[in-house]
Amino acid sequence: MLRSTYLLPRFYQTLAVVILLFVLSHTVPVIFYLANLVLLALIFACFWEFFHLRSAAALIIGERGISEKLSLGDEQQITYRVYNQSKADLAFELVDELPLQFQHREGIADGEMAVDSMIEVDYDIRPLERGVFKFGELLLYIRAKSLKLLQRRVTLCEAEDVAVYPSIIQMRKYELQVFSQTATLSGVRNIRSIGENDEFESLKPYNQGDNIRSINWKATARKNELIVNQYQNTRSQTVYCIVDKGRSMKMPFEGLTLLDYAINSTLVLSNIILRKYDKAGLITFSDKIGSVLQAESKQGQLDKIAEKLYGQRTDFLDANYELLFYHMRRLIRRRSILLFFTNFEQPVDLERNLPYLISLSKRHLLIVVLFVNTELEQSSEMECKMKSDIYLKVFSQLALVEKREIAQRLVRSGIQTILTTPKMLSINIINKYLEVKSKRAS
């Protein structure tokens, strides 16, 4: 563990005074003895503070509390704890060598530590890129509270690498919302069809005509009346999330690209699909086919999807829909639900690729997800103060009209379409999936 000692400005100020006294001693000899006395006192104070900080540094420990996997685009906390087990009151500054992506160039905290005390500091981070983030050393700079001539550096934690994955936080959040009794309060329409199958739904009093094999005898004994189990209809379906990694998905919103939003929502939806006993699969593409994961409902499928999504890289070239169509025709034999994350900014882009989407919709239940440009929405409602504002407002309104026409063109072609803002993406696709599942199960 590296420890180094540095001289502080107060040391140089005192040394400057000593030098000045030596200069003045040529004119006033008495000052020469005063200068020697001050110099000896400075040397003695430095030696005392050096050994004082050295002994204190050996009794200071600290830790950086961070998740093994960070979630893309979510606010998260790093918790720092520093324990002063020495018998000295110290002034300190805590510095963490955070990854370059966070653009942080200041200390985490500073102040004073009492004897046998603990300092706990929380620092908020929001990763905006997938990949490995390199955290450097966690450093603590300590000073004696009295003279403050020297400062000693203590390395509390060594460097470590932390991976940023698609949002695990959002995945858990929406899982709780979908499967909770208060799902509608969070915007999730938990549409379910009650039937007789193998997924337990709830308990209810026995009514004439109920299947007597569904009687729950333990609940009956507690309630002193016949209670039956109610089950949820769970026909297994095959669902593929198709993610376009082309140029149109490079558009940024609040620090994340549309591709990042699609990747986060794919992980969220895949978790819901598997929890509903359906099969979840994944296909990514741009100018060529990227990752392909066959739809399965086996244990470990969600981890495979998360790893595939984590590793997505793209040059944002034009997406090849023709290649995707012929690849999927060979890959997916059974009629499936296809959730297609893409974006068309111009009607001509849609018309060029619409035949392939129509062909896919004839073989599968295709749901195309398009994105609303929220910045254009804000510009279309802005108050015009200059002539340039008028042009910007009119352009924004025309662009929004074009996007709605693109969505309507898809609907007229028999393709189900979701037009959503990036922020509402996960909620909207979950609701659509639950709606489709309910209709297909009935």
- Assign 194 a pLDDT band (cuts: 50, 70, 90): very low
Task: Give the pLDDT score at 367.
Answer: 96
Model confidence pLDDT, tens digit, residues 146-173: 778 889 999 999 999 999 999 999 998 8
Q: How far apart are CA 277 and CA 137, in angstroms?
A: 45
Tell me the mean pLDDT in the region 168-196.
66
Q: How far apart are CA 63 and CA 68, in angstroms?
A: 14
* Model confidence at 127: pLDDT above 70: yes
- The pLDDT > 90 percentage for the chain reads 46
Q: What pTM value is reported for the model?
A: 0.79
**For the domain 238-441, what is the CATH code?**
3.40.50.410
CB burial class (10 A; 0-12, 13-18, 19+) of residue 261? buried
In CATH terms, 1-165 corresponds, of 3.50.50.60, 3.40.630.10, 2.60.40.10, 3.40.50.170, to 2.60.40.10
pLDDT of residue 193: 44
What pLDDT does 93 receive?
A: 92
Give CA–CA dist 429/424, Å, rounded: 9
Give per-residue pLDDT as tens, 263-280.
Answer: 999 999 999 999 888 999
Residue 328 confidence class, pLDDT cut points 50, 70, 90: very high
* Cα–Cα distance measured from residue 422 to residue 292, given in angstroms and rounded to the nearest whole number: 24
Q: What is the pLDDT of residue 254?
A: 83
Q: How confident is the model at residue 94 (pLDDT cuts 50, 70, 90)?
A: very high
- pLDDT at res. 185: 47
> Would you list the DSSP string of 7-54?
E-HHHHHHHHHHHHHHHHTTT-THHHHHHHHHHHHHHHHHHHHHHHHH
Residue 191 has pLDDT above 60, yes or no: no
- Please tell me the predicted confidence (pLDDT) of residue 135: 94
pLDDT bucket at 179, cuts 50 / 70 / 90:
confident
Task: List helix spans (H) across 285-373.
Answer: 301-310, 321-331, 347-363
Residue 230 pLDDT greater than 50, yes or no: yes
Say if residue 377's pLDDT is above 60.
yes
Q: Of 7-16, 220-229, 239-248, 324-333, which range is least confident?
A: 7-16
| Torsion angles phi and psi, residue 17, rounded to 5 | -65, -40
Ranges in the chain annotated CATH 2.60.40.10:
1-165
Q: Say what the pLDDT of residue 305 is.
A: 95
Question: For residues 163 and 101, is the Cβ–Cβ distance under 8 A?
Answer: no
Quote the pLDDT of residue 391. Answer: 81
CA geometry: angle at 74 spanning 71 and 76, to 5°? 80
Between the ranges 103-107, 141-145, 180-184, where is the mean pLDDT highest?
141-145
Neighbours of 77 (CB within 10 A): 13
Alpha-carbon gap, residue 142 to 93, rounded angstroms: 7
What DSSP state is assigned to residue 210? S
Q: Is 73 a residue whose pLDDT tops 60?
A: yes
Tokens in use for 175?
């899982």
Whether the predicted pLDDT of 236 surpasses 70: yes
* pLDDT of residue 359 exceeding 70: yes
| Tens-digit pLDDT profile for residues 301-314 | 999 999 999 989 88
| pLDDT (0 to 100) of residue 195 | 38
Q: Tens digits of per-residue pLDDT, 37-58?
A: 888 888 888 888 888 888 888 8
Residue span(s) of the chain under CATH 3.40.50.410 come to: 238-441
Please report, for residues 243, 262, 310, the alpha-carbon distance to residue 246 in angstroms, rounded to integers and kept in the order given: 9, 12, 17
- Residue 63's pLDDT band, with cuts at 50, 70 and 90, is very high
Tell whether the model's pLDDT for residue 3 goes beyond 70.
Answer: no
Of the pLDDT bands very low, low, confident and very high (cuts 50, 70, 90), residue 186 is low
Instruction: Give the pLDDT mean for 333-352.
Output: 92
Q: If DSSP codes are grouped into helix, strand and coil, which group holds residue 428?
A: helix
